[in-house]
Chains A and B, each alone.
Chain A
Amino acid sequence: MSSEVLEIQLIAIVVAVACALPGVFLVLRRMAMMSDAISHAILLGIALAFFVTADLTSPLLIIAAAATGVLTVSLVELLNRTRLIREDAAIGITFPALFSVGVILIARYAGDVHLDTDTVLLGELALAPFNRFEFFGYDFGPRSLWVMAAILCINVVFIAFCYKELKLVTFDANLAATLGFSPALIHYGLMALVSVTAVGAFDAVGSILVVALMIVPPITAYLLTNRLSRMIVLSGLIGVASAVGGYWFAHYQDASIAGSMGLMTGVFFALAFLFAPNRGIVAIARRRASQRWEFAQTMLTIHLFSHEGLPEAEREAHVNHLSSHLHWEPDFAQQVVRNAERRGFVRNRAGRLDLTHQGREMAQLALVK
């Protein structure tokens, strides 16, 4: 592995983890689409700061873009608070407007300089290692690796430091307010974090892939666990896996690295969506099927129990009678009886069914419940 290949993967991993951390809270706070709005709107901040500094590497760009991100959030809230426009519509109006201003500014005044809308939107990770961070003539590795590592540190520190507050505000904002925490403060802190992360990540992966990395690993983790701490760790791991997997996919297909990373997050989500232990589609289908059999067996024992020892028992307790009495298809009835027999609830003597002691207990239990 050449150092370039290693560096690109390192950047990808750092970006993925840095995005996944605030993403967990966006997903839990039902604000996933805010990441979309912020990651687009920061174009305006980047453009404005670029006109002031004429330098794409200036830290002012990050600050200005983060400010635009927070501005977007407050504009959306302002529109929402007039009660004239619902929140989702407010998001759908605000960020295209800010993005448009950014695009027009760039098209008109920035001409053909390095700043173009394509890079902001799509990003090009393959170019990242060429932009080095040099200090007193020494080469310290790619610049974006340092930028993203710093942002990752900020995210980790913020989440570790405000873990309790974030948790409280996310799951019970009213309780948080009564206890004297400020939900608004935490909210805006989180939004600032999302903005800073989006700005840092945009030149590595582009703004729309920021959305993929912020949202998809956390919702994948959301399908796998019920604990916040585990969800955070899992999101980070899924992000790392997507980054590495995406890189190699792109490598062999000769495709966009950022796009492949986004696609990989989707693949992991699809796996979780289908096969997650408790919440996956397969698990749900199996649970439904087993519940159906379970219910049918219980019905069988109750049916036999209620006619046990009575004159009509001879007729009622016959396998062939089940289809008419319980509205079961004959095949299904056979299958239920076979299962019940295997589990020792009934004895089958040439079609005549008798409850075992165990089966009687089950019926009684079901009736009491």
Chain B
Amino acid sequence: MVLELGRDLFFDYTLRTVALGSATLGVVSGALGAYAVLRKQSLLGDAISHATLPGVAMAFLLTQSKAPLILVIGAAIAGWIATLLVISIVNNTRIKEDSALGLVLSVFFSGGLVLLTVIQKMPTAKQSGLDTFLFGQAAALLERDVITMASIGGVTIIIMLLLWKEFKLLCFDTSFGASLGFPMAILDVLLITLLVIAIVLGLQTVGVVLMSAMVVAPAAAARQWTNRLGGMVALSVLFGAIAGVSGAVISSSAVQVPTGPTIVLSISAIVLLSITLAPNRGLVWNWIRSQRERRKLRIEVVLNDLYTLASQHEDPRHSHSTAVLEAMSAHRSNVRHSLRELASRGWVENVNSDEWALTSEGVIQARYVAGRGR
């Protein structure tokens, strides 16, 4: 089964094309998405992808051509205008960014819809081919399309790598960058342009609605594993590519499962895995750490109580009963447990059946804990 899939991946034309196309999409949107997420522009991707629709329709109306390159250029121009509109609305009015995004997204999309219905009714054109942009149609990808996607995407990524340092500044400290003399406003527009290109490349594969996930999800997953920009971009690219290929493979091996949504579900699964399992930040890791902290605190409380009691006596190793310690502790049920833990470390010893005393090592530890608390 697995072997067969592997063989198909290399030799089956359709599957190979779809997988390569989806991988390209994952790589490019993963890379640029990392910046979008870091710059708190996650939903900009959603707005841009919806806003490309009138561009696609307009390009078709003007040229009467359905060549992907022409439609993609139209889409990119519309996406770009939409982004600039969002920025100018936010800068010139009191309207907040989320409203501006929603506005541009829905109004541009409406415009696109009007144009599409107009095209549909024209005698010259069959509209099919345009509505693939809505939901994406990975199965209809041709090798030619993939080569176009890969070359445009390649250029995008090369520009990103060449301006690595500048874009890093843009993400993390714009004013510092400006003070160093970098043209931050131009860089900002350039980075957004690259994002627009990345989004437009993916439209044919996953469509307008799901494209936002391909921008946000790989980057959000990658963010969990690393604190470095380089690592984040690399991981985001990797996750995007994995989601692309696995989405293509899964949808090809099941009946009537569209590729775009499958890719999106794959990347969502990666996000879920990342937020639960990632070291240092992940939910499991956090839970274990908080449990460890809690246990440490519980033990220290008992140790400290025992020390406080003993310091009332001449002998710092005077023994006391569990009941007394329980009375002092807020977590009564756990006192015995903590005492056993302390005993196994050799810090306390059981003197009588239910009486506990500090060992000399325990006294040192208790003084250390008490001193730290002060």
Which residues of A are at the interface with B, using a C-beta cutoff of 8 A?
27, 30-33, 35-36, 40, 79, 82, 84-86, 88-89, 91-93, 96-97, 99-101, 103-104, 107-108, 117-118, 121-122, 208-209, 211-212, 214-216, 219, 222-223, 250, 253-256, 258-263, 265-266, 269, 273, 279, 281, 284
Contacts and interface: CB of A to CB of B under 8 A. Distances in A.
Given A93-B216, A258-B113, A279 B94 contact: yes
B23 to A, nearest CB: 18
B213 A93 contact: yes
B298 interface: no
Given A92-B45, A104-B262, A263-B111, A279 B118 contact: no
Given A208-B109, A209-B110, 11 more contacts: A33-B46, A36-B106, A82-B283, A103-B135, A118-B134, A215-B103, A216-B103, A219-B100, A253-B114, A269-B107, A273-B92
Given A82-B283, A86-B40, A89-B37, A104 B109 contact: no
A36 B46 contact: yes
A366 B99 CA distance: 40
A214 B134 CA distance: 22
A284 to B, nearest CB: 7
A207 B346 CA distance: 67
A216 to B, nearest CB: 5
Contact of B89 (A36, A261, A273): A273
Contacts of B262: 100, 104
A260 B99 contact: no
A279 B89 CA distance: 11
Contacts of A250: 114
A289 B140 CA distance: 56
B83 to A, nearest CB: 15
B317 interface: no
Given A92-B215, A212-B107, A256-B114, A279 B210 contact: no
Contacts of B216: 89, 92-93
| Interface majority SS (helix, strand, loop, mixed), chain B | helix
Contacts of B281: 84
Residue of A27, A256, A261, A269 with highest tally of chain B CB at under 10 A: A256
Interface residues of B, number: 64
Contacts of B37: 86, 89
Given A36-B46, A219-B103, A254 B98 contact: no
Contacts of A117: 135
A40 B43 CA distance: 14
A100 B106 contact: no
| Interface majority SS (helix, strand, loop, mixed), chain A | helix
Contact of B106 (A82, A208, A273, A284): A208
B72 interface: no
B113 A104 contact: no
Interface in B215-261: 215-217, 219-220, 223-224, 254-258, 260-261
Contacts of A89: 37, 42, 216, 219-220
B110 A212 contact: yes
Nearest to B263: A100
B93 A279 contact: yes
Contacts of A211: 102, 105-106
Given A89-B220, A256-B113, A31 B98 contact: yes
Residue of B92, B115, B117, B256 with highest tally of chain A CB at under 10 A: B117
A100 B102 contact: no
A247 to B, nearest CB: 13
